[in-house]
Structure 1
């Protein structure tokens, strides 16, 4: 009886590698070197593939949407504070160190110069640095009434001459805040007073010269608007039954 031949090392070895990279390496290196390079550089190295164009349209739409949102937020103006946020932050609240009548005297002097320009007694300073020229116009209700009605009263020194609340008659101070319905003033006694405009008559003066002053009276019912709204508003005569 004949015995079959034992398998040799050649017959028990793994089948040859048929990878194209191994074939190319075998042409340039020895079998051991090409096998080692193939194992280290090709077989165990991950192959990173990028998605082809148009394969992920959802991600593309999301990217475009985020870019548009970023551009919109960058170009959008900041949202103004609401009335509640202003109260919480204390935007218009005066500190105790700021409630000084002497602090606002300079503001009143600036306001007096502003009123002289509004009434036409002086001209605005020229760009070349020349001093403003002085004039002597005639102030009448027909010619200057609209200018006085649209003027800004921040810095004016108002005095209450008539009011529905008799306790407020005689209060005098410099305006530090002009709201739609009130004047907030700082009195010579370093006190803050809120004066309602409705049913109230205010008096103020404009110093034209050292001994010449113009005295005006403001009817609060005619001024129940914010300063920014009064600038371009056409005023109409109203019934003043409260006098």
Structure 2
């Protein structure tokens, strides 16, 4: 607060309305200092003259810990795995289980895997391709079951539309959704003339986890 503002004379039009008269600067200053002395706590370190010398006072609003905890508790929480299963978020509806609908996804996957492998140059070796495929995303790839503990799965071919931790979900040319367990199954995938094999028993992890894992190439995709 500026002391000069306190000592400013009252406008004439307000003198009659308020019923007061302007005081001389010395009297106004003396009244202000006396008022502040009576208002300030005894243990306050600042003196009256120091307060009057400030042009502005910034008053901060301190929030309590309870208010902060209430605000943090109001933040929206995402759905857990059980809630997602109950809502059937990841289930493909029967009307969408059509092979032709996922052909564009397969075309995108072919372009993606070509870029990942550097264009499949003539100098590319099977080991180089397999090293790239180890951490690749296979959504959109055409996989074939070549071996399985369950003979009825052998020969199943389709576009991979969902990869879960323990199963592959195919859409076959017959417009059927096939759920193939990874364990005890071997899958083949062809990429620009290279045929590689995926050993599902050691492929039981999510694609995001596989991308961060280190592998040793052994001639096949033995994960």
TM-score for the superposition, normalised by structure 2 = 0.64
Give the equivalent residue in structure 2 for 1:67. Answer: 67
Q: Per-residue CA shift, 1:147-184, capped at 9, x if unaligned? A: 21111110011110100111100111101100111100
Secondary structure at 2:137's aligned position in 1? coil
* Separation in structure 2 between the aligned mates of residue 104 and residue 169 of structure 1, nearest angstrom: 22
- Aligned positions of 1:1-243 closer than 5 A: 64-73=64-73, 78-121=76-119, 135-141=121-127, 143-207=128-192, 213-236=193-216
What runs of 5+ residues in structure 1 fail to find an aligned partner?
1-62, 123-134, 208-212, 239-243
Give the equivalent residue in structure 2 for 1:40. Answer: none
TM-score for the superposition, normalised by structure 1 = 0.59
Change (3 A) 1:237 1:80: farther
Secondary structure at 2:173's aligned position in 1? coil
* Separation in structure 2 between the aligned mates of residue 161 and residue 195 of structure 1, nearest angstrom: 12
Residue 205 (structure 1) shift? 1.3
* Separation in structure 2 between the aligned mates of residue 105 and residue 147 of structure 1, nearest angstrom: 23
Secondary structure at 2:95's aligned position in 1? helix
* Separation in structure 2 between the aligned mates of residue 112 and residue 137 of structure 1, nearest angstrom: 19
* Separation in structure 2 between the aligned mates of residue 153 and residue 116 of structure 1, nearest angstrom: 13
* Separation in structure 2 between the aligned mates of residue 182 and residue 231 of structure 1, nearest angstrom: 18
Q: Which has the higher contact order (CA 8 A, sep 6+)?
A: 2
Aligned residues: 161
**Is the radius of gyration larger for structure 1 or structure 2?**
1
* Contact preservation (8 Å) 2:106, 2:141: yes
* Contact preservation (8 Å) 2:126, 2:194: no
